[in-house]
A and B are shown apart, each in its own frame.
Chain A
Amino acid sequence: EADIYQTPRYLVIGTGKKITLECSQTMGHDKMYWYQQDPGMELHLIHYSYGVNSTEKGDLSSESTVSRIRTEHFPLTLESARPSHTSQYLCATIPSLPPYEQYFGPGTRLTVT
């Protein structure tokens, strides 16, 4: 079983605040992903990384930014939170060898008031 951790699990924050959602994995996987999911909707890829110092924007435009300074750590930052950022944020990794099943963390439920 994959070991992926996300903190916080739940966050309620006011408009304009800066927040960082943490994602860590202990498996040494190079590829990591951030998804955003609204209720009843598909998971949208917002950022991904194929290794240290590698980050790319995903299919869904996002005002968030990410960094990948260490293999195990892939934080996502919102410089100025807005109500439109209210969503569930899911972090995932895939192993370097097949089978390439993505393993997901428990997610962060963000509410911006």
Chain B
Amino acid sequence: DQQVKQNSPSLSVQEGRISILNCDYTNSMFDYFLWYKKYPAEGPTFLISISSIKDKNEDGRFTVFLNKSAKHLSLHIVPSQPGDSAVYFCAAGRNFGNEKLTFGTGTRLTIIP
């Protein structure tokens, strides 16, 4: 039973446009959500997080939106840059991240110059 789902395995976006990556979860006990970026043969790099007490968190070009009623979150990257090309993982946890995380399968984002 996959508790965190990223239904789009890949996404291509023109440079300068907005990239929107989506993530759905099923476990209502999750209260902390994170996005990670991963290059091949490297470990994931933390991008941005959001707790369930918020519905939006912004950090530079990255914004995460959380819709608790729909159990859905999304990552917006604007403007998209070639260096954003990577695999993006959504992760969810309990106790505001102080416990183990459950990861989605990832979305490969390709930014087209």
User: Measured between C-beta atoms, what is the minimum distance from B106 to chain A in Å?
Assistant: 7
Query: How many B residues have CB within 8 A of the partner chain?
Result: 26
In the complex the two chains form, is B49's CB within 8 Å of A40's CB? no
The answer to whether A73 has its CB under 8 Å from any CB of chain B is no
Residues of B near A102 (CB, < 8 A) are 34, 46, 91, 97, 101
The answer to whether B113 has its CB under 8 Å from any CB of chain A is no
Cα-based distance from A88 to B42 in the complex (angstroms) = 9
In the complex the two chains form, is B45's CB within 8 Å of A104's CB? yes
Query: How many A residues have CB within 8 A of the partner chain?
Result: 30
A-B contact pairs, 9 of them (CB 8 A): A40-B106, A43-B91, A45-B101, A45-B102, A90-B43, A92-B43, A98-B98, A100-B32, A102-B101
- Chain A interface residues toward B at CB < 8 A: 4, 6, 9, 33, 35, 40-45, 48, 58-59, 88, 90-92, 94, 98-107, 109
- Chain B interface residues toward A at CB < 8 A: 2, 4, 9, 32, 34, 36, 41-46, 49, 89, 91, 93, 96-98, 100-106
